[in-house]
Structure 1
Amino acid sequence: MRIGMVTEGGYPYVRGTTGLWCDRLVRGLGQHEFDVYALSRTARQEDAGRFRLPGNVDRVRTAPAWSPPEALPTPRHGRRARRRFAEYYAELAAAVCAAGPSGAAVPGESGAQGSAARAGADRAAARGDGSAPGAAPWRAAGAAGPPEAGCGAGGDAAGAEADRFAGALYGLAAFARDEGAPAELLRSDLAVRALERACRTPGALRPARTARVTDLLAVVGDIERVLRPLSFDWYGDRDLGGVDICHAASGGAAVLPGLLARYLAGVPLLLTEYEVALRDQYLAAPGASAPVRALGAAFHGRLAVEAYRQAACITPGNAHVRRWQERCGAQRAKLRTVHPGIDASPFAEVGESGDAGEPGTLVWVGHIEPGKDLVSLLHAFSDIRRAEPGARLRIIGGPAPEPGAAEYAAHCKALAAQLFPDEAEDRHTAGENPVSFEEPAGPGPAHRAQVYAAGSVVVLPSVVEGFPVGLVEAMFAGSATVSTDVGAVVEAIGGTGLVVPPRNPRAFAEACVSLLRNPSRRALLGAAARARALELFSAEQNVLAFDGIYLDIAAQCPAPRLSAAGVPARSRPFAVPAEAHIPADWPRRALTRTPQGPTPHRPSWARGPADSIEPLEGGEPEEGGEPERRASTASSPVPAPSHDSSTAPASSLTPAPPAGSPPEASAPEAPVPAEAGRAAAARVQAARVGAARAEALEEGTVRAEAARRRTAPRAEPALPGRPRAEAGAARRAAR
């Protein structure tokens, strides 16, 4: 089948979060065709190069999400088109600024009100109700098909606002289809004024009421960046509109092309999230003002809710992401956890060697940033040094590309120099710090495998973590680990490592000391961790899982779509099963004999229980065919053979008819052509009954003769001289 993969800041670029697993997936599913639609985040990412694409990638279309909108071709819109755009954007802004009963955005509600909103969404999804008042704009736009309503009206404020946001979004999609790309209008004064009116409306978000002009401009710019796919020409029959499945590799801006392909062409959407885009939005821009953060989170929350409603299947990467999706209203029936696949071959030699590594060495691998909490690790290592004076800590990795990461790395180095001054074994050797900051020896997992093997314990003291890829790689290498209970760490490590609460240096130090002092326990935990990683997190299980999901979605999709010209588009696989081409009355129709040619052959698998009864002279068997069959068997003249032949009376056997006697019934002289088949079937049935009767009669005769011979009195044998003596006596009597 043909898969349209949409990425943001990842594949096919080498730099990015989704590059590796997307490349493994495309290469592992060589039987499918892939079209890649990529949104690049920065110019640096584009300059870093792309992956070497396999042969099953037919085309790659890219668009920059970082460049100004002036670089996109924008038509000149008239007064009527601008008025139409203003109506749709005003609806979108009103849905974004609307607050729930608790005064917060509906996707972020908490407590009983949020639970009630999710329950209402599930009830409406089960009903398939799409009669929300906010859905009018897209209905009036004349779309190819209405999107699936996940929240009904029914007095549910959350469902009404979700439908209002969806109506405005698909109204803008219809506007882009009819009037041209709205890239210029999304940053125009029309958008700023519409957002300002929505913020000043009674009942809006509390932080949004204090938004200034600079805040409004920042929010409008963020909305324009996410809605930029509205201006792309990716939705024709040769692009996303003609694929069998649209696979969004992440949330956020990457899911919007999938929503538009579903709205304009009915393409089913598969959404994969290994990191929650909504969570990243909450954590992003810590220096932004409160109105910017609140409105940005509300917009991304509305977009996430709509994506979860319209997706045919949602594949979270772990239970942590799954909880976020359920919190935003995703239906549990659509969720299917698929762990990220990691290539285990670079770690095979290290994992199977059983090398214990350097004694007393702790290893940390990753990008240095505040979420990794290296400050707590350094304070915990000071306690470890007091218990184990010979312990060492190796921090391998450079600063992350995010803002503020370089300053945090410099702060950690200064803290390490302050806590652990250089130490020397004697007065003749140079001092050495027990904490070392090292750059990776080279890119790729092969170098990281050697790093994991060099230490006794691999540590992960993070306070913010999604799916711990570095921890899973350490499991593949067979290393014992100590980590904190954040994100999906517990789900990944299971019971094969030690887990402590975050921001607790004392507990972290105690766990590390217990492993450093017990080599046998380290070896057992490392072997168990490697076995668990091979079972759950290998690249093979990831590829097989997505292959099955592709087939499931394709099997459940509707009949072939209609293109924009109204003609049938290319048919989808599994859209119409083979059984649909067989008429519903085909088994009965096969029994009908027509004079226009021979009787069609009927295979054995198409015969039902009633079809195994041959029709008698009276015609075809009726619905109660099975009782009639038992009745005819009971009234048959063929007797059941008795096991005790000595007690069977001879009168119970029916004599055979004489050779010259006429038959019991004769066939009609000139049967009607339409009844020729029935007459032939009746003759065959009569022949079968006669043969069975003759066979039973012969068997009964043989048994009766044997019984007569056993019960008859035995005659005395004649003596040799007795006839001559009797003859002499007779002559004497005659004289």
Structure 2
Amino acid sequence: MRIALLTEGTLTNAQRGEGGWCGRLVSGLPEHEFRLYRLLPADRPAPPSGVRGLHGVHELPMWGRRPAGRGPTPLRRRAYVRAYEELVRALVAPGERAGFGPALYRLAELGREDDALPAFLASGHAHRALERIWRMPGADTAGGQPLVCDVLVAADLLEQCLRPLSAPWYGTGPAGLGGADLCHVVGGGPAALPALVARELHGVPFVVTEHGLHLREQYRGYRSAPYRWPVRALLLSFFRQLTEETYRQAAVLTPGSAYDRQWQQRCGSDPARTRIVHEGTPATGRPAAGKEPEAPTLVWAGALEPGRDPELMLHAFAHVRAELPGARLKMYGEEGAPGYLAHCRAIAERLGVEEAVEFAGLPESPAAAWESGSAVVFSALAQRSPRLLADAMLSGRAVVATEVGVAREVLGPTGLLVPPRSPRALAGACLALLGDHERRSRLGLAGRLRAQERFAVEPVVGAFREIYLELVSRYPAFPARPGTRARPFARPAEYWVAGSGESAAPARPAEAAPLVTDKRAGVTLVKAGPALAEAL
């Protein structure tokens, strides 16, 4: 079947490169034809896809300068203004949120007809419509009236977010989303807009995979965004309603953890259409770490920033050092906040453990970091991704972590969990492991086996193979027309003949299928026609 992978060009570590998540999916399902559709930052060179086996890569500049083009005619401009006003009203009026989806699809329909949507969104007509609706009584502006500068900034950001609506990807040929059997959205957010439009126009079902929720990252990012509160409120409302519409229309949601599934359900996802598929990693085949260092050593890994709470690790290590003077601490990671490395060094000096603490920076590889210690410690205030925890477990070293986010789900009974912001509890867990070699070995082996079982690549590929087949069997290849009945597997085999292209006409009806004789085998074969394909 033909599958369209939709993602943003700024790929996460899980998606980047030939060995990334998308690459492993494509190489693990060679029986399917994958095409990559990605949104890229404008005015930047397009990075290589890094995925072998793709049958095509289609790109759309999104963030940055608006693409060239003419605006709509005065007569059509009225339809654009009405649809845009309905969209903005859904963003700022709590009682009008039901109009978000229809307004979105109406703008996409108008843009397909005359390619004037980007120019309209950047025009003064759109700015005036935004200002008029945004300042109406009862509008949600996050405690302040929007200024003229807010209107200009918000209009520009909305224009960039809505660019996928006017992408040239909605044809019905093999290269268009209308010719795909299904769409697979990787990451969510604006990358889901083409899938929503393809579903609305052509009835193409889509799957959403999120390893770290897009909406959650938007809420975190807009805390420090250089915009006033009205602009932040408007954009967060857009992303929230886009996420809700995506979850409502998606055929299947595949979060990477039960922690992410809970977030999705809070945004209105249907549990019956949600299936957890853990993020597979090729590191499951990596050999376990070798011999432990002679001195009892704790390894801490993560960015040096408040969210990772290295201060908790340093205070806990001071307690460990008091009980076990020969203990050492290695902290791997680069500075995530300006001046935070110097701040951590000052804390270690004040606690009197600076001689036993090594700030080692970025390691050659995660495996080398885990091997340099006797046990691995995570002290984060929020653990949104299971990736680093699983990698540490695969080393065969015992793991201690604060009980936040996905930690309990990933570690289970194979690690030690402690409350966050509790130096004494963290120190007690570390001392319990450093003082018992047999327990460290037992927990390390159990953690490695658990990670190999949950995060192997083969179960992930097998899960999506089943999901794809299930969706195609339940959804028609062509949406039903008035007076006809939609049929699954409605495309005959002749549709997929190479070179059929966009202009491929349906196969001719045949009362009797032609006979083809295979002289080598001495048998007579029947060439399948549309009637036979329909009967099957």
TM-score by length of 1: 0.62
Give the counterpart letter for 2:326 in structure 1. Answer: G
Q: How many angstroms does 1:183 deviate by?
A: 1.5
Provide the aligned length of Structure 1 versus Structure 2: 483
The verdict on how the C-alpha distance between 1:378 and 1:504 changes in structure 2, with shifts beyond 3 A counting, is: same
Whether 2:64 is the aligned partner of 1:67: answer: yes
Instruction: Find 1:202's aligned residue among 118, 137, 146.
Output: 137
Quick one: distance in 2 between partners of 1:67 and 1:455? 45
Offset, 1:575:
7.2
- Partner of residue 436, structure 1: 358
Measured in 2, the distance between the counterparts of 1:357 and 1:544 equals 39
8 A contact 1:350–1:450 mirrored in 2: no
Amino acid at match of 1:408: Y
Report percent identity of matched pairs.
Answer: 41
Go from structure 1 to structure 2 and tell me whether the alpha carbon gap of 1:559 and 1:525 turns closer, same or farther (over 3 Å shift). Answer: same
Shift of 1:436: 1.6
2:123 corresponds to: 188
**Hey, what does 1:275 align to over in structure 2?**
212
Find the counterpart in structure 1 of residue 274 from structure 2. Answer: 335
CA shift, 1:435, in A, is 1.7
Q: Which has the higher mean CA deviation after the structures are superposed, 184-193 or 239-248?
A: 184-193
Match of 1:32 in 2: 32
**Greater share of residues in strand:** 2
Per the alignment, residue 452 of structure 1 pairs with 370
Is the contact made by 1:246 and 1:269 (CA closer than 8 Å) also made in structure 2?
A: yes
Q: 1:95 corresponds to which residue?
A: 90
Measure, in 2, the Cα distance between the counterparts of 1:573 and 1:367.
49
Alignment match of 1:483 (pick from 380, 401, 406): 401
The separation in 2 between residues aligned to 1:65 and 1:358, in whole angstroms, is 53
- How many angstroms does 1:551 deviate by? 0.8
Q: How far apart are the structure 2 equivalents of 1:513 and 1:232?
A: 58
Q: Normalising to structure 2: TM-score of the pair?
A: 0.84
| CA apart distance, 1:410 | 4.3
Distance across 2 between alignment mates of 1:385 and 1:435:
10
How do 1:384-423 residues align onto structure 2 when only pairs under 5 Å count? 384-400=320-336, 405-420=337-352
Residue type matched to 1:239 in 2? G
The structural deviation recorded for 1:219 is 2.5
Give the drift of 1:474.
0.9
SS in 2 for 1:173: helix
TM-superposed CA distance for 1:209, in Å, is 4.8
Query: In structure 2, what is the equivalent of residue 18 of structure 1?
Result: 15
What aligned pairs does 1:71-220 form with structure 2 within 5 A after superposition?
72-99=67-94, 161-205=96-140, 207=142, 209-220=144-155
- 1:255 matched to which residue of 2? 192
1:460 to partner: Cα distance: 1.1
**Residue 243 of structure 2 is aligned to residue 311 of structure 1:** no
1:39 alignment partner AA: L
Secondary structure in structure 1 of the residue aligned to 2:56: strand
Q: 1:525 aligns with which of 443, 459, 483?
A: 443
CA distance in 1, matches of 2:104, 2:357: 53
Change in 2 beyond 3 A, CA 1:350/1:88: same
Quote how far apart the aligned CAs of 1:515 are: 1.1
CA distance in 2, matches of 1:190, 1:208: 26
Gaps of 5+ in 2: 494-536
- Equivalent residue letter for 1:168: A
Q: Is the 8 A contact 2:150 2:228 kept in 1?
A: yes
Q: Contact (CA 8 Å) 1:39, 1:62: kept in 2 or not?
A: yes
Q: 1:51 to 1:231 in 2, by over 3 A?
A: closer
Looking at structure 2, the residues matched to 284 and 214 of structure 1 have their Cα atoms a distance apart, in angstroms, of 21
Q: Secondary structure at the match of 2:282?
A: coil
Pairwise CA distance, 1:233: 0.5
- Asked if residue 246 in structure 1 is aligned to residue 183 in structure 2, the reply is yes
Q: Is the 8 A contact 1:97 1:208 kept in 2?
A: no
Letter in 2 for 1:434: A
2:264 equivalent in structure 1: 325
Letter in 2 for 1:350: A
Highest CA radius of gyration, 1 or 2? Answer: 1
Relative contact order, higher structure (CA 8 A, sep 6+)? 2
Q: How far off its partner does 1:216 sit?
A: 2.8
The CA deviation at 1:74 is: 1.7
1:301 counterpart = 2:240: yes
Match of residue 52 from structure 2 = 54
Report the AA paired with residue 65 of structure 1. M
Contact 1:199 1:209 (C-alpha < 8 Å) held by counterparts: no
Question: 1:163 deviation in Å?
Answer: 2.9
- CA shift, 1:58, in A, is 0.5
Are positions 1:494 and 2:489 aligned together?
no
SS of aligned partner of 1:344: helix
In 1, the alpha carbon distance for the partners of 2:331 and 2:142 equals 41
DSSP-derived class of the 2:414 partner:
coil
1:30 CA drift (Å)? 1.2
1:558 counterpart = 2:494: no
Choose from 503, 508, 515 the match for 2:426. 508
Q: Distance in 2 between matches of 1:192 and 1:500?
A: 52
- In structure 1, the residue matched to 2:303 is 367
**AA aligned opposite 2:467:** I
Q: Look up the match of 1:126.
A: none
- Distance (Å, rounded) in 2 between the aligned partners of 1:181 and 1:395: 54
- CA drift of 1:406 comes to 3.7
Counterpart of 1:80, as a letter, is: L
Kindly report the root-mean-square deviation, in angstroms, between the aligned alpha carbons of the 2 structures. Answer: 2.6
Q: Matched residue of 1:478: which SS?
A: coil
Deviations 1:496-522 (A, max 9, x none): 111112222222122112111111111
Which stretches of structure 1, 4 residues or longer, exceed 4 Å deviation after superposition? 41-44, 571-577
Q: CA 1:180–1:410 in structure 2 vs 1: closer, same or farther (change >3 Å)?
A: farther
Offset of 1:205 from its aligned partner? Answer: 1.7
Alpha-carbon offset, residue 197 of structure 1: 2.4
- Separation in 1, partners of 2:62, 2:139: 29
- Is contact 2:135–2:146 with CA below 8 Å preserved after alignment? no
Q: Distance in 1 between matches of 2:383 and 2:126?
A: 36
Contact preservation (8 Å) 1:382, 1:419: yes
- Secondary structure of residue in 2 paired with 1:467: coil
Tell me if the contact between 1:556 and 1:575 (Cα under 8 Å) persists in the aligned partners: no
Give yes or no for contact 1:282–1:293 (8 Å, CA) kept in 2. Answer: no
* 2:302 is aligned with 1:350: no
Structure 2: distance between partners of 1:289 and 1:485? 35
Question: In structure 2, do the counterparts of structure 1 residues 559 and 441 end up closer, same or farther at CA, with 3 Å as the change threshold?
Answer: closer
Q: 1:460 to 1:42 in 2, by over 3 A?
A: farther
Q: 1:87 to 1:358 in 2, by over 3 A?
A: farther
Contact 1:10–1:18 (Cα < 8 Å) also in 2: no
Aligned partners of 2:345, 2:43: CA distance in 1, in Å?
A: 31
Report the CA distance between 1:572 and its aligned residue. Answer: 7.0
Q: Distance in 2 between matches of 1:41 and 1:490?
A: 37
**In 2: Cα distance, 1:418 partner to 1:42 partner:** 48
Helix, strand or coil: the match of 1:330?
coil
8 Å contact 1:211–1:291 — kept in the other structure?
yes
Compute the displacement of 1:523 (Å): 0.9
Q: CA deviation at 1:42?
A: 7.8
Deviation at 1:235, TM superposition (A): 1.2
